[in-house]
Structure 1
Amino acid sequence: MAQLLKRMGLTLDLNKRDLFKIFLLSLAFFCVIGAYTILKELKDILFTQFVGSGYMGDVKFISMFMLVPATLLYAKLVDSMSRFKLLCVYSGLYGIVGLIIAYYLGDAQIGLPNAIASGDRWFGWFIYLFYEGAVPFVVSLFWSFSNSVTSPETAKKGYPLMIAASKLGGMFTAGLAWMLLTPTGIIGNIGLTDVAIHQLLLGLASVMLCIAPVIVYYLLKLGNQENLHGYEAVYKVEKKEEADGTDQTGMFSGLMIMFKQPYILAIFAMIFFYELLNVVISVQRLVILKSAAESFSGFSGAMFEQRLIIHVIGFFVSFFGTRILLKVLGERACLLLNPMFIGLLLVYFMVMRDAHAVLVVYTGLGVLNYAFASPLRESLYIPTVKDIKYKSKSWIDSFGMKISKSVSSLFIKSAKNVVPGTAMFNVVYISFFSTVIALWILVAWWLGRRYCKAIENNEVIGLQ
């Protein structure tokens, strides 16, 4: 029986030191994604309530340029701080400021009690722009830290477990939000006002962000230091650079490396293709949920309900699916499977073309991205130098993602007059989807081949 479970990938298959490390990283990631699940939805919900959905395009455009100086500052801090201190600074920043924002949500003038949406309600603008940095400066930073202390073999076995733990975190916070905001939820009638519920959720997310670095500190104090080297070839290069005094490379080095290294551009392309498809589907999803909601809380509850579904399915996919596929097929084949699975979802969307299909495909895209593609994509950073892990990655996860969303928005605007169900609609959308999937498969094939070659040759990617 034990042998059968091992072949199926249902055993942890990690030594005690790696298991201790993955357990604590998983616990910290539980907090990070639990918090991010709330912040991701509240960011859009609060902006819509304070400023209005008509300004959503404007704030997305502004956020692209706001993230540039923020990313440059982050790159500067990478050169002057240890990995752990950097994690503490950004987790603490979003945690403490989040508690302040939660308090002022109850203010009669600038908070939720003022139900009049207006373009000059700067509190709404600040909330959206501030939390736009949660991905590159919290979630992405946590992955950068994990990639720097984890070997490729441990990542193959342990990253799906970390993703599964993050899904539990998302299930916890999304489920709590859904139960609080939905009248039919288990604890939906406990006497809290809409304002108090949103304050409670934002406060919970902020506290969870503050807890994450405490768990990482415990790992650094009690973990085996040799086991925290990660990819040994990269560790040796970094120690040599520190000894030579060449480890500080400047604010723009990550951006320059991204354009010079085809490997990093290929990782960017993976995210770019996903965001192109995700934005097209998510815009229609927001319209469907907003039109079906009877109140502000009803809209919030529907958003969190679907996020809960994504996390529940994602947990089972990451724990039972991703681990087994990685164990049996390896990273190279799994990188190819991701766009193929998404292609099947898009075929379903084009065949059905109704509200139910939009919600199913949006859910499927979220599950595949977070539960299947994410551990694969993050593993690709392990054999890279520090500048790529931290600086190039931050550009990809901030400004790069905005570029892909902007391109997708251009497609939506250009195709908005195409009537669904017509021959022209089929031609436009099938051509768009097919082109993206075909390019994605080509990039995935090359990227998987390059990664496997680097690991086999004990190579460090990104050396000058």
Structure 2
Amino acid sequence: MLKRIATALWGKFESTAELKKFGFLAAIFGFIIGTYWTLRPMKDSIFNAIVGMDYLPWAKMLSLVVIFPLVIAYSKLIDKYPRHKVFYILISIYACASLLFCVAFLNATLGLVNTVQSPWRLIGWAWYVFVESFGSLIVALFWAFTTDTTKPDSAKRGFPIIVLFGQVGNILGPLLLNARRLGFANSAPVVAICAGLMVFSGLLFCKIT
């Protein structure tokens, strides 16, 4: 039934395996985009709560400075290891980092309970760069893997499905994973949920590699 619906919307797929592949890729991309667009609004709000909005231009410049060597390191990983292994490495790092940020944000001194803004609270700067780098590296890596493993004719059929799920994730992520909607006192638990979504994306990735 799903194959018939997909065929009607995006054309005839070569096989059920091809449709299954794009189904998993679409789900993974949906979770990645949903996670990113959940983290992105919190990037500024948490930075403002910890450091102060006056320092936001400096945070943007810092992220550019830090992301540059990260991209170089990413390129070296891509050259040394297969793309799917690099995905596992990076998604694991970001998931673990998200959990660490959650713990830090729950801390009475380091975290969001402390309402004293200060440029010396380094956790705020690290958080800003973390979210920026996630959007830059993980999304790029996903598409690098997807384009490398997909023929042009197959891409015409499957890529619209991936983009569609990305748009769904873009809408549902920040809509559903809202601290107030979920009854949380602050955004720290949402960061932990995002870590879980990253892990789940990695598990789904296992299905296609």
Asked whether the two chains share a fold, i.e. TM above 0.5, the reply is yes
Residue deviations 1:241-275 (CA, integer Å, cap 9, x gap):
xxxxxxxxxxxxxxxxxxxxxxxxxxxxxxxxxxx
d(CA) in 2 for partners of 1:112 and 1:11?
46
Residue deviations 1:35-54 (CA, integer Å, cap 9, x gap):
11112111111111111111
User: CA distance change for structure 1 residues 149 and 175 in 2, over 3 Å: closer, same or farther?
Assistant: same
Residue number in structure 2 paired with 1:102: 102
Say whether the 8 Å CA contact 2:107–2:113 is kept in structure 1. yes
Query: 1:172: Cα distance to partner?
Result: 2.9
Residue number in structure 1 paired with 2:81: 81
The one-letter code sitting in structure 2 at the alignment partner of 1:27 is A
The one-letter code sitting in structure 2 at the alignment partner of 1:52 is G
Q: CA RMSD in A?
A: 2.0
d(CA) in 2 for partners of 1:62 and 1:218?
37
Say whether the 8 Å CA contact 2:36–2:131 is kept in structure 1. no
Residue deviations 1:207-257 (CA, integer Å, cap 9, x gap):
11122122121112xxxxxxxxxxxxxxxxxxxxxxxxxxxxxxxxxxxxx
Residue number in structure 2 paired with 1:42: 42
Residue 215 of structure 1: which of 191, 204, 208 is its match? 204
Structure 1: gaps of 5 or more residues: 182-186, 221-464
User: CA distance change for structure 1 residues 31 and 157 in 2, over 3 Å: closer, same or farther?
Assistant: same
Higher relative contact order (Cα pairs below 8 Å, separated by 6+ residues): 2
Query: 1:135: Cα distance to partner?
Result: 2.0
Query: 1:113: Cα distance to partner?
Result: 0.3
Query: 1:6: Cα distance to partner?
Result: 9.8
Q: Secondary structure at the match of 2:9?
A: coil
d(CA) in 1 for partners of 2:55 and 2:11?
48
Q: Secondary structure at the match of 1:202?
A: helix
Residue number in structure 2 paired with 1:255: none
Query: 1:168: Cα distance to partner?
Result: 2.5
Residue number in structure 2 paired with 1:10: 9
Pair 1:206 & 2:195 matched: yes
Residue number in structure 1 paired with 2:153: 153
TM-score where L is the length of structure 2: 0.90
Q: Secondary structure at the match of 1:10?
A: helix
Query: 1:97: Cα distance to partner?
Result: 0.8
Residue number in structure 1 paired with 2:130: 130
d(CA) in 1 for partners of 2:160 and 2:171?
16
Structure 2: gaps of 5 or more residues: none
Say whether the 8 Å CA contact 2:10–2:160 is kept in structure 1. no
d(CA) in 2 for partners of 1:116 and 1:84?
42
Q: State how 1:16-95 maps to structure 2 within 5 Å.
A: 16-95=16-95
Residue deviations 1:13-39 (CA, integer Å, cap 9, x gap):
322232111011111112211211112
The one-letter code sitting in structure 2 at the alignment partner of 1:133 is S
Q: State how 1:264-413 maps to structure 2 within 5 Å.
A: none
d(CA) in 2 for partners of 1:217 and 1:209?
13
Residue number in structure 1 paired with 2:143: 143
TM-score where L is the length of structure 1: 0.42
Query: 1:122: Cα distance to partner?
Result: 0.7
* Structure of larger gyration radius: 1
d(CA) in 2 for partners of 1:104 and 1:29?
28
The one-letter code sitting in structure 2 at the alignment partner of 1:118 is S
The one-letter code sitting in structure 2 at the alignment partner of 1:140 is A
Query: 1:81: Cα distance to partner?
Result: 0.9
Q: Secondary structure at the match of 1:105?
A: helix
Q: Secondary structure at the match of 1:118?
A: coil
d(CA) in 2 for partners of 1:44 and 1:6?
39
The one-letter code sitting in structure 1 at the alignment partner of 2:155 is A
Q: Secondary structure at the match of 1:132?
A: helix
Say whether the 8 Å CA contact 2:43–2:131 is kept in structure 1. yes
Query: 1:11: Cα distance to partner?
Result: 4.7
